[in-house]
Amino acid sequence: MQKKIPQRQCMGCRERKAKRELIRVVRSPEGEVSLDFSGKKNGRGAYICPNPECLKKAIRSKALDRSLEVTIPEEVYQRLEKEMEGGHA
């Protein structure tokens, strides 16, 4: 029996993709927002494609802010842009 691949929805394009393909943004129980490449940090997570267009859509619609129930600091968006340019994900 084949193992089920976890699916998550991108906050930018709203497409469902394999969890491994997406970048996780997490809000810790203390309210700190950070990027989680391991996918194992505690807290509420939201996912985004490693695509600058998806990031732009998510910023415009404030989808990450709504999903994590917190205002995302500008540094987190800047770090996401850097990661996408560097092709980390």
- Taking only the tens place, the pLDDT of each residue in 22-75 is 999 999 999 999 999 999 999 999 999 999 999 999 999 999 999 999 999 999
pLDDT at 87 over 90: no
Measured CA to CA, the distance from residue 58 to residue 19 in angstroms comes to 17
Residue 89 — pLDDT band, cuts 50, 70, 90? very low
**How confident is the model at residue 85, as a pLDDT?**
86
**How confident is the model at residue 65, as a pLDDT?**
97
Phi, psi of 32 (to 5 degrees): -85, 135
Fill in the amino acid letter for 52.
Answer: P
pLDDT at 88 over 90: no
The model carries a pTM of 0.89
Measured CA to CA, the distance from residue 30 to residue 47 in angstroms comes to 19
Structure tokens at 20: 């491994």
In the three-class reduction of DSSP (H, G, I as helix; E, B as strand; rest coil), residue 8 is classed as strand
Sign of CA dihedral 10, 35, 57, 86: negative
